Structure 1
């Protein structure tokens, strides 16, 4: 996709950028930039979109986003409530192919780093707990550093990431693109509307109207640009929210079913198993046992 181009602020005295984002919520517009991004979630949770991937993010998560890969981290709706005291915080480092010199990545010793960059072209989530903790700590140290140690620490971070084999690939492809900024804004509007309104019925006519299209044209448009139907995307959002509620709130499966926008329990159970591989009850049992270990 080619969402809103995002220029990472960088002064003439730095070859890469370390940035701390802190506030009521994270930057919530679908965007892309030419830099690779290593991002640690320090506070907050919500929905992450990377290319055609949709999932959840939470405290402790560590992501590597490749160059020009569309992405957005949108906090849950409660972070946007006027009286909310919730906070969101992330620390990121941005670097590009020239950050260490034009020939740096051609060095034979950098093969592992080139492989990391190739893998991250689809966006990856780091799953190794030790590496997540270590990299998060070093990113926070990096934010306060200057001079040579800053570069050495970044290389240490990247070395740890090249050694990590426990990863989750996010987008299905690195070739997802929009044709212009108008399409970018349109898709961002679709994503935001769906994430905010998933809990109620959304007809194809309504979402098509939001995009100034007929329902048939909208369906073709959405499928071409995300590799999935809009109904599939909507169900992904609903099931993702259902997973969170089942573990965090004391609600029955039936209550959760209707709360996230499904109109009958059998369809909810079927879609839940389709997306998670488990029934809602099995999902609760598996994750609550894991939390007790």
Structure 2
């Protein structure tokens, strides 16, 4: 498995791609492509891996991913259990400001939108209060064609560019572009961790997975992800713990801790507080209070 360099086919009669998915689960491999990607998760839940950062997603969220930003929408485990009642539903718009649309983005009138498209290589989450307008625009673009579709697309970009200080998906762009062999190593490590975080994962076993010594692996992983191996594993576990704590189905802190691969309650509380900024029980209580308000 590697960070797959996707080539998204662009129709001859269109400069943007609109893709609707209704599937058992999201595409399960880390990948990247030259197009900016705007994805509205209509139905489904799981974890978005963007660069080395993780974000829980549920139906209703909209994410903007930058050009060549490695990403993976990892559906929750239950979506892989062959349950016909579970499906994901998403609507995505792809566009390449340096491809067919380059002439448009190089017009003087498009300068602000060009700066916007080029300036958000780290991606961002669309604020909840803006999703209603954006989903209406995405649906309109899906069902339009020709000049009308392009006009609606420009209007949507204008609204996106007006979002003040959106929440970035990744804290920074990777300054070390990944070759295919490097991408293969990083992606295989990500995939291994995200499928095995519920048990103990040793440095030796992951280093062996990518044919490096433990010390060489630690240096390699930090160079390309800007975080340590242990910190990344902890982020995956805490992200899963957050989902379990707020879904209402499991409020037992000990069960959550052990399910997510922590060896003790003390360690879980310590890592959770350092990552989220509050204790697990406080996090769950505050979420419950917010949803009842």
TM over 0.5: yes
Matched, 1:257 2:244: no
How far apart are 1:41 and its partner, in Å? 0.7
Change (3 A) 1:287 1:112: farther
2:129 counterpart of 1:126: no
Structure-1 separation of matches of 2:147 and 2:240: 44
228-237 or 98-107, which deviates more: 98-107
Distance 2:240 2:84 in 1: 19
Quote the offset at 1:78 in angstroms.
1.2
What residue is the counterpart of 2:173 in the other structure? 174
Deviation at 1:88, TM superposition (A): 1.1
SS of aligned partner of 1:117? helix
TM-superposed deviation, 1:105: 2.7
Contact 1:131 1:160 in 2 (8 A): no
Cα distance 1:102–1:118, how it changes in 2: closer, same or farther (>3 A)?
closer
Q: For residues 31-54 of structure 1, what are the alpha-carbon distances to aligned partners after superposition, in whole Å with 9 as ceiling and x for unaligned?
A: 111111111111111111112212
- CA RMSD between the two structures: 1.9
TM-superposed CA distance for 1:283, in Å, is 0.5
Residue 182 of structure 1 deviates from its aligned partner by 2.1
Identify the residue that residue 147 of structure 2 maps to in structure 1.
148
Higher mean C-alpha deviation, range 135-144 or range 227-236: 135-144
Q: In 2, distance between residues paired with 1:107 and 1:140?
A: 27
Q: Which residue of 2 aligns with 1:218?
A: 217
- C-alpha separation in 2, matches of 1:183 and 1:82: 33
Who is 2:277 aligned against?
277
What residue number does 1:82 align with? Answer: 82
Partner deviation per Cα, 1:91-114 (whole Å, 9 max, x = no partner)? 111112256754433444334313
Q: Secondary structure at the match of 2:121?
A: helix
Residue 120 of structure 1 deviates from its aligned partner by 1.7
- Asked whether the 8 Å contact 1:241–1:260 carries over to 2, the reply is yes
8 A Cα contact 1:47 1:54, kept in partner: yes
Q: TM-score, normalised to structure 1's length?
A: 0.93
Please state how far the C-alpha of 1:263 moved relative to its aligned partner. Answer: 0.8
Gaps of 5+ in 2: none
Distance 2:263 2:98 in 1: 53
1:254-288, Cα deviation, whole Å (9 max, x unpaired)? 11111111111111111101111111121012111
Q: Is the 8 A contact 1:125 1:168 kept in 2?
A: yes
The residue aligned with 2:54 is 54
Change (3 A) 1:62 1:252: same
Q: State the Cα distance separating 1:178 from its structure 2 match.
A: 4.5
Matches for 1:183-262 after TM superposition, within 5 Å:
183-248=182-247, 249-262=249-262
